[in-house]
Every structure is written in structure tokens, then in C-alpha cells.
Amino acid sequence: MSLTTEYSLKIEKCSQSKIQQVDFDNLVFGTVFTDHMFECDFKEGAWHNPTIKPYGPLTMYPSAKVFHYGQAVFEGMKAYKDSNGAVFVFRPEQNAKRINKSSKRLAIPEFPEDLFMEALEKLIALDKDWVPNKSGSALYIRPFVIATENCVSASPSTAYKFMIILCPVNAYYSGKLKVKIAEKYSRAVDGGVGFAKAAGNYAAQFYPTNLAKDEGYQQVIWTDSVEHKYLEEAGTMNVFFRINDTLITAPTNERILDGVTRKSLIQLAEHRGISVEVRKISVDEIIEAHTNGALKEIFGSGTAAVISQVSGFSYKDQFYDLPEVEDSYAVSLKQEMFNIQYNLKEDPFGWRHKIV
Ligand code: COI
């Protein structure tokens, strides 16, 4: 099926920019949005009217399916500005493909990858002044799809809205994270939607994460849902463990998101000669490694945080501290990512996608 026929992307510019009202030094993540957004509607079997327009509210009926069944998927990406004012997006083609994998699992029609890229490029180019030019800051890009059919029967919607909104952001986490290893709750199950960026995956994390926060932790390290034995993800991130000088991360599967930052870090680490093992890793293994001094680092990886270091973890009411190491892989790999993302060094992998 052809998902879209001929299209020409329309641009309706706002009459006055809001940028002067924004305090770029004190941005609260995800609360400030740029002047424009992209919108495209699916009905009668095809995507129609791709339009960039002023950022503003949507008018929807309360019967829209997204409100009842959570038929929604999203992506997270970032645009970076270099010292000459050039703007780059990090590996956007990966997100254009992944949103369609998520959509397929949620019975949402795929969005044409070429239109995804065109909308992204034109929208960011239009709002390029909003891309912060400070290290650690970026323009967070949120593409998403929601089910808009006005009908509360529990079946896939016949109408959808694909949108892209943009927000300038500073660092996602301000310091290291204290985390709790999940013993009861799970993020994902075999045969489920864990690999997809389905909105509901994130909503389902809020309650167990709040319980962990009440105990003084910032995030949960999710374990497998059958035995709570294997370590899978950390909060909204993939997770890496450094035992001696080897980095270990769980293989992607039905339960684990195929993170763009995760796979980029694996490539960067291997390129540097660090030994990387993509395999199952158990709670017992990291506790044993901690006991004999071999567990050097734990860190999460994701678009929002890039790399987020863990200062310690708790399991079965015991806390395991992770003191700072001198030759931290988290610190040096994050700097190498920044070198590519902010155009500070060469990009041997071709990951930077220039916008303007
Ligand atoms: C990411 O870092 O990739 C995310 O999806 C974070 C987002 C949920 C804020």
C-alpha cells in the first residue's frame, strides 16, 4: 500500500517569535517549545496535508482513541549547534526507521521515511535560532503519532496525527544517579511492546519509579519479568556495566529498546579498542563483581541524558556504592559523543546530519 501519494509540505510561519521571552540558562527539560511544529494527518489509508505551522494547542474530541487505549508512539532525537552556528542532528535516519517499527507493533500505519526527514529538516531550519550553542545543551526533537479516530471501540484507529515538536534543553540529569534494582515490577515482557517507543511503556514506569524515589533513589534498573535476575534497562535508558575493563550491555530483544545512543556507544568503544560484550548480565554477577572490586562503573545511555553515571545501586535492602574511577569510560565516551555531536572533531562514522 502506498502510504502517501503526492505531497508538498506547506509552511505557515508564526507572525512573531517567542524566543526573546526564553531564559536559555534555566530551561526545565521539556517545558519550553519553539515557534513551530509539524503536523500530518492520516485518513482513508494515506497521510495528508503535511504542514509546518505555529506551535499551538490541538482541538480534539474526547472520544479520540489515543485517550482511551494509548495507541501512541514517539521518538526522541537531538539537534546540536557548533561554534560557527551550523546545526546537526545525530543519526536521524535511525529514528525515522525506529518510529515505524514501534508503529507496526501498535497497529499504527507507517510514516514515509522521506517525509519524516523532510519535515525534520525544514522544521529545524525554520527554528534554528532555538538550538542552544552551549555544550551539554541541545534542541530536543519529539516526533510522535497519536490515534485520532473519534470512537471508543477497542480496535485500531482509522485516523492518526503525526507531529514533530521541538524544545531547547539543558542536561537531563544534573548529577550521578542512585538506582534501585527492580525486584517486583517490570518494564517489559516477552511478546510485549518493550522494544517499541510506545507511550504506555513510559507511563507504566512512573508508579514503580515513584516508589523508588520515596526510598531516595532517582531511577530503577529494570530486570527481566520472569525471574528478576537479569539487568535490562535503567529508567528510560539502556544500561552498561563495566567489569574490570570490559563493557557489558544486554542484547536488544523484544523487551529492550534498540537505543541509538546504545549502539553508537558500542561502536565508539570498540573503535577505541575497549572490549564490549553484548550479552545477558545478572544481578548476581554485578554483586559478585562489586564484592571483589571488579565492578568499576554503571551508566545509562539515551538521547535525553546521552550518558548518565550511576553512583550506587540497591538490591534486597543493601546499598552498593560505586566510587569515582580515574579512567571513567562514561566520562570519556560521553566526551567522544559530544565531539561528534557538536562537530568538535571528525565524524568517522557519518553520524552527523547537517541541517543548516
Ligand atoms: C531517551 O533518552 O531516549 C528518552 O526517550 C527520554 C525521554 C523519555 C525523555
pLDDT (tens digit, 9 = 90+) per residue, 225-259? Answer: 999 999 999 999 999 999 999 999 999 999 999 99
Q: What is the pLDDT of residue 325?
A: 97
Distance from chain centroid for Cα 295: 26
pLDDT (tens digit, 9 = 90+) per residue, 129-173? Answer: 999 998 889 999 999 999 999 999 999 999 999 999 999 999 888
Q: What is the pLDDT of residue 1?
A: 44
Domains defined for the chain, CATH in brackets: 10-169 (3.30.470.10), 177-341 (3.20.10.10)
Average pLDDT over residues 106-111: 98
What's the pLDDT band for 174 if we cut at 50, 70, 90?
A: confident
Q: How far apart are CA 208 and CA 212, in angstroms?
A: 6
pLDDT (tens digit, 9 = 90+) per residue, 277-333? Answer: 999 999 999 999 999 999 999 999 999 989 999 999 999 999 999 999 999 999 999
204 alpha carbon – ligand 1 mean position (Å): 14
**304 within ligand 1 shell (Cβ under 6 A):** yes
12 alpha carbon – ligand 1 mean position (Å): 29
Testing ligand 1's pocket by substitution, the residue of 236, 239, 299 carrying the most ligand atoms inside 8 A of its CB is 236
Say which residue the cell 566526551 belongs to: 335
**302 within ligand 1 shell (Cβ under 6 A):** yes
259 alpha carbon – ligand 1 mean position (Å): 10
Own/partner contacts of 248-254, CB < 8 Å, gap of 24 or more, are: 248/276, 248/277, 248/278, 248/279, 248/281, 249/276, 249/277, 249/278, 249/281, 250/278, 250/279, 250/280, 250/281, 251/278, 251/279, 251/280, 252/195, 253/195, 254/188, 254/190, 254/191, 254/192, 254/194, 254/195
What's the pLDDT band for 2 if we cut at 50, 70, 90?
A: very low
Ligand 1 atom at shortest distance from the alpha carbon of 304: 2
50 alpha carbon – ligand 1 mean position (Å): 25
173 alpha carbon – ligand 1 mean position (Å): 12
Is this model's pTM higher than 0.95 or not? yes
Q: What is the pLDDT of residue 4?
A: 57
**236 within ligand 1 shell (Cβ under 6 A):** yes
Confidence check: pLDDT of 41 > 60? yes
